[in-house]
């Protein structure tokens, strides 16, 4: 299969490798079990039904398995659906590997890491610089892999790093226009604000919440880590508390998960920069699939609005 799953049309036939991203069992109205598979590759995803499956199928076709599949592309409720004709699990003989089937950030992780490192390198405030460098280094591996969220925005491999890089560039542009901003503080806050997700989320594939993620949450996790790093590095200035405040308040309101609202100028800006980058990511991906003169699907994380693409837009 040469072209990605995202480029198939109704009526075409498929014959190739796909990754099972999630599975749900069902019982059909004739009493027989079936599986609803979410199949994907690096270009996108499509739902598929495996009718009349047997108990073996249920243990073979599980999440994160790469399969070989043949079938027809149909339409169901306005979405494409794959009608499976043949399906088998892959073996070493198939020479396929997981990484080839995942959606990734458009920039190489190492390149993003270098860029973030440069931002840290240029900081003048040694306390902020040391805490930020230490924590980024500590969680480097997971940070470069995990998505920024389980859904809604930047939900792809290396999504968090991509989100952080975009936010840094946006913050730099803002600081040029509003010179009162303390860039060292703002950049530190951006780099660390979601870093607790390396513990909150299970990993880059089939991402779910860990127990610690559910009970403590990435905000409190990172606030704790900042405190512990400051201890380890024997840093005692007000920067520790202020940086904890930036992380603590970056969701802006109690009902959105921040126990304190932003009470420092850079905390307020951090929240807004986070908001803009997340929304632009959602909008860009939604509008890509919309033709001029039409409305997008409803975007849940944007108050369920459908966005319009003007006919005069390019």
Non-local (6+) Cβ contacts of 99 within 8 A are none
Quick one: 93 or 179, whose CB is closer to a copy of itself? 179
The least CB distance from residue 255 to a copy of itself, in Å, is 4
The least CB distance from residue 309 to a copy of itself, in Å, is 8
Residue with tokens 């009470």: 263
Cα 162 to Cα 156: distance, rounded to the nearest angstrom: 10
Quick one: 7 or 260, whose CB is closer to a copy of itself? 260
Quick one: 75 or 94, whose CB is closer to a copy of itself? 75
Quick one: 151 or 238, whose CB is closer to a copy of itself? 238
Ramachandran angles phi, psi of 33, nearest 5°: -75, 150
- Check if the beta carbon of residue 257 is closer than 8 Å to that of residue 213: no
Cα 99 to Cα 80: distance, rounded to the nearest angstrom: 24
The least CB distance from residue 206 to a copy of itself, in Å, is 17
- Check if the beta carbon of residue 227 is closer than 8 Å to that of residue 206: no
The least CB distance from residue 263 to a copy of itself, in Å, is 5
Non-local (6+) Cβ contacts of 224 within 8 A are none
Which run of H or of E encompasses 15? Answer: strand 13-27
The least CB distance from residue 196 to a copy of itself, in Å, is 11
Quick one: 99 or 280, whose CB is closer to a copy of itself? 280
């Amino acid at each position: 299969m040469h072209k990605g799953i995202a480029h198939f049309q109704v009526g075409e036939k498929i014959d190739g490798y796909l990754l099972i991203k999630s599975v749900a069992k069902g019982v059909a109205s004739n009493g027989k079990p079936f599986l609803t598979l979410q199949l994907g590759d690096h270009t996108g995803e499509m739902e598929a039904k495996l009718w009349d499956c047997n108990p073996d199928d249920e243990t073979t076709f599980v999440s994160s398995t790469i399969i070989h599949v043949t079938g027809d592309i149909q339409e169901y409720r306005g979405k494409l659906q794959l009608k499976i004709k043949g399906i088998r699990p892959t073996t070493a003989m198939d020479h396929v590997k997981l990484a080839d089937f995942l959606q990734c950030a458009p920039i190489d992780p190492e390149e993003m890491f270098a860029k973030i490192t440069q931002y840290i390198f240029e900081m003048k405030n040694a306390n902020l610089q040391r805490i930020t460098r230490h924590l980024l280094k500590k969680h480097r591996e997971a940070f470069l892999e995990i998505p920024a969220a389980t859904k809604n925005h930047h939900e792809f491999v290396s999504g968090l790093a991509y989100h952080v890089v975009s936010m840094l560039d946006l913050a730099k542009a803002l600081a040029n226009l509003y010179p009162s901003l303390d860039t060292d503080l703002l950049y530190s806050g951006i780099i660390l604000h979601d870093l607790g997700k390396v513990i909150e989320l299970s990993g880059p594939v089939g991402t779910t919440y860990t127990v610690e993620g559910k009970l403590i949450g990435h905000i409190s996790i990172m606030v704790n880590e900042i405190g512990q790093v400051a201890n380890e590095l024997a840093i005692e200035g007000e920067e520790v508390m202020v940086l904890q405040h930036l992380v603590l308040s970056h969701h802006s309101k109690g009902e959105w998960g921040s126990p304190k609202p932003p009470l420092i100028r850079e905390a307020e800006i951090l929240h807004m920069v986070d908001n803009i980058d997340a929304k632009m990511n959602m909008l860009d991906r939604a509008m890509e699939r919309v033709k001029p003169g039409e409305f997008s699907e409803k975007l849940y994380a944007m108050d369920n609005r459908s966005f319009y693409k003007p006919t005069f837009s390019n």
